[in-house]
Chain A
């Protein structure tokens, strides 16, 4: 069924491979909820999806103001997609401020759906419009749909015992219903959600359900939209899927790690955007033996995690960049006493307080080098929201096996963005269990495993192993205080070698594309999707371009140098000023070129594509 043309004209159905929608409104308009509901429905329908929430740090900036605009972008497709889309096909703007801050991203010809009721003189002034853009012709390049959403919604809710303010709060579901109709989505999942969420508030439940249905019916019955759209299910690999954000996947991975290691997990954390959700989620897993502790500050959080690790638990702390700065000294202690510890850094834009809700990858060097003394730690970084699950387990595998702190670098885009996750079978997950030391005859506090160089984990309560550790330099083997120069040199080398040896125990760097060629694009973290999409486009045109993405940042996979050497040029896009590039250039003496953007937003595919084309052209000219 592609068209239905009978005597009574019905909207046409057009099939699309991919659609990108952006919901934008005041932060009190419920745009994140609208986006999340659209995402759940779309994921459950079976499209591949990628999402990008974009919200202000202010809990409630003044209503109608430009800083108060909150947005949620979702891209969904019948194909495998990697990013939330460079530009929206449809922009839903709930007020003038949302229009003003988002219009530049909507390509000419794109569909622009606005809540016409919100374009009052007051709101126009707050958004800085001298003239009403709906009437001054400035929107003629776009496919504009002016819909009096507030009025229509209020009419649909007529008769309910609600204040007009309460009624107005449901208008986002009118917009959601309309989008469900426009893209042939079922209302059922959201109706179920409403029923559960407001089970104790029947009037509110009724209002939201009516708003949703009214929006849907509006699309169906009015003739404003001549077409509605169909995006078929994606052909994903077989399996059971769910939609996850990076923070959700991280929390699930951590619980899984605790189960796989067979130990109590102890998360000590201090609230900080955008990492707090990990604390929130883990605090609901007490029946999995996960203990959580909200500390008085960032330092206390890592201190408590180290204390728990000393006691034989899986001590863990989660934070963002400013918190890492505070935890630095304690991380050095963990290096010195060689206890397993995972430090989660959900990076945000810095320096200092920076832009708390915006993405950046600028804590890499802080975690790599930001401690006094030579204090190496292992670093892992997931590339996609779903991958956060695997790397939470991987971080723990390394921490336990090597008795070392491990930094786990997520970021604001991974943390709040989402994608379908093929749920693994528990039986397929690796065992990461390690034994504590109990043998008193052979015990030395700093005796090392010959392969991993890990020292024994001898926890209090073990009879006969009473010993003392601390931040002062240790004598090799005995762990007693030592100022011996040769000993310090040897211990520094051992700590270094222990981390370097992890390279023998991690997978090689995989290359997507030709194993030799003109250009390698090397990335890490949340730039994965944009890089992969850009590379796919260039490869489709016949360019010898490959993509490699580092998940282990310290140490690097053993074949990294070999991979880098197989291409004429290396391009490194990062959401920082070139931090990984500094490490790569220093380590491998490769003249990698940086693509560096710090605008608090993820890369668009086109930005990477353009930088790649430039290097390919330069190469061709040589």
Chain B
């Protein structure tokens, strides 16, 4: 089937017949809607798209997509996706996960899926809380966070998802926010068009157990001053008046005001394609309130995908040895005949 003959799909084609059951006001609704909206853009037939999820509120998303879907077990979605993609390179595979699923119980698998450059798009809903189990601290909860399981505040330092993804060698690393639908669509599109391991963190509000946890920097009236929208090739400017920026003092990022001592020319210019992930890592460490929170694509580099490398070895073996002959294989080595 050529591109010309492909039926043009719309968002509706990706909406399943299942009733969506997240809490009213949950940020997941927005992520689902943006996901459904971006799907037609990839030009991939519905039957070639698979959504694989783990356990947690995010895990329900595949039921609502009119594609193939597999709601698996806690933390293991990347393993199932890895096997599926290795066995079936023709499929477009998405992994839907949360902060507990991806970085607590499934941390090992995320790291390995990323370092192998498995061609999957892993969307991690980060609400900094365990929602489905009704409100315990998650690996991204801030230290001191009081929850049902940590009445005096958690003593565990939080993990930084983007930093983990970068050090795990993910070839695409990005962040977006549930409330910024346009930015989320843009980010999902970029992830969808990437070939290789894509890690997308979506800051997602849990209205029940961690409401407004991101509001101090995502609220409409403050977000331009407290968030930094990354654009490839552009200097790191932010603020309602576009009057602030980030420059590097050695390897230390510094917020500067533009117009006096510093100009745009002094600022760090974002290069998402840099082979060296050091600058991307520095960006991943910027946290509110000391810094604006970066959103957008931190890293996008090309590298051979896991499935492509496997296929290359399959082809090499076939070319070298010819198609396997079972009869010959069974009789290989030393044999003797009894008559």
Contact = CB atoms under 8 A, between A and B. Distances in A.
B46 A426 contact: no
B149 to A, nearest CB: 22
A168 interface: no
A209 B47 CA distance: 62
A291 B309 CA distance: 12
A243 interface: yes
Contacts of A301: 79
B259 interface: no
A279 to B, nearest CB: 15
B183 interface: no
B2 interface: no
Interface in A206-240: 235-240
Contacts of A312: 87-88
Interface string A285-320: 111110101011101111111111011110100000
Interface string A415-436: 0000000011110000000000
B326 A241 contact: no
B338 to A, nearest CB: 5
Interface string B303-339: 0000000100110111011111011011111111111
Contacts of B332: 242
Interface stretch (B33-41, B70-78, B132-140, B237-245): B70-78
A307 B336 contact: no
A339 B332 CA distance: 33
A426 B62 CA distance: 43
Q: Summarize A's interface: helix, strand, loop or mixed.
A: mixed
A313 B83 CA distance: 10
Contacts of B46: 463, 466
Given A300-B109, A468-B71, A480-B18, A460 B48 contact: yes
A286 B317 contact: yes
A424 B327 CA distance: 9
A46 B326 contact: no
B86 A308 contact: yes
Interface in A35-76: 40, 43-46
B62 A468 contact: yes
B91 A311 contact: yes
Contact of A307 (B79, B330, B335): B79
Given A240-B336, A286-B318, A255 B79 contact: no
B288 interface: no
Interface string B164-205: 000000000000000000000000000000000000000000
B82 interface: yes
A366 B64 CA distance: 36
B81 interface: yes
A463 B87 contact: no
A42 to B, nearest CB: 11
Contact of B79 (A235, A299, A480): A299
Q: How large is the interface on A (under 10, 10 to 19, 20 to 34, 35 or more residues)?
A: 35 or more
Residue among A255, A305, A468 with max Cβ neighbours from chain B (10 Å): A468
Contacts of A288: 323-324, 326, 329
Contacts of B150: none
Contacts, number: 214
B30 interface: no
A315 B70 CA distance: 16
A471 B327 CA distance: 40
B47 A311 contact: no
A296 B109 CA distance: 7
B47 A462 contact: yes
B108 A423 contact: no
B109 A236 contact: no
A264 interface: yes
A436 B49 CA distance: 18
B50 to A, nearest CB: 5
Contacts of A46: 336, 338
A471 B71 contact: yes
Given A287-B323, A461-B91, A255 B47 contact: no
B108 A308 contact: no
Nearest to B116: A296
Interface string A433-452: 00000000000000000000
B211 interface: no
B73 A310 contact: no
Nearest to A248: B333
A310 B338 contact: no
A246 B251 CA distance: 58
B47 A287 contact: no
Interface in A314-341: 315, 329-330, 332-333, 337
Nearest to A306: B80
A468 B69 contact: yes
A252 interface: yes
A242 B331 contact: yes
B235 interface: no
A300 B76 contact: yes
A113 interface: no
A287 B324 contact: yes
A423 B331 contact: yes
A393 to B, nearest CB: 12
A469 interface: yes
Contact of A303 (B83, B313, B316, B339): B83
Given A242-B333, A287-B318, A467 B69 contact: yes
Contacts of B67: 466
Nearest to B84: A307
Nearest to B314: A286
A308 B334 contact: no
Interface in B84-125: 84-88, 90-91, 108-109, 111-112
Given A242-B333, A296-B108, A468-B70, A305 B83 contact: yes
A266 B86 contact: yes
Contact of B47 (A40, A293, A306, A465): A465
Contact of B68 (A266, A293, A303, A460): A460
A189 interface: yes
Contacts of B62: 468, 470
A240 B84 CA distance: 39
B209 to A, nearest CB: 21
Given A286-B313, A304-B82, A461 B88 contact: yes
A469 B79 contact: no
A235 B108 CA distance: 55
B287 interface: no
Contact of B337 (A241, A259, A300): A241
B121 to A, nearest CB: 15
B253 interface: no
B79 A241 contact: no
Interface in A446-489: 459-472, 480-481
B298 interface: no
Contacts of B88: 308, 311-313, 459-461
B76 A240 contact: no
A268 interface: yes
B71 A313 contact: no
B51 to A, nearest CB: 8
A157 interface: no
Contacts of B323: 287-288
Instruction: Kindly name the residue among A43, A266, A466 whose own CB sees the greatest number of chain B CB atoms within 10 A.
Output: A466
Contact of B317 (A287, A307, A423, A426): A287
Most chain-B CB neighbours within 10 Å: which of A299, A313, A461, A470?
A: A470
Given A469-B69, A470-B59, 4 more contacts: A45-B336, A240-B337, A308-B87, A333-B72
26 contacts: A44-B335, A242-B332, A256-B326, A286-B317, A287-B321, A291-B86, A293-B82, A295-B112, A296-B111, A300-B79, A306-B83, A307-B79, A307-B80, A307-B85, A311-B87, A313-B88, A337-B70, A460-B91, A461-B91, A463-B45, A468-B63, A468-B70, A469-B71, A470-B63, A471-B71, A472-B71
Interface of A: 40, 43-46, 189, 235-243, 252, 255-256, 259, 264, 266, 268, 285-289, 291, 293, 295-297, 299-308, 310-313, 315, 329-330, 332-333, 337, 423-426, 459-472, 480-481
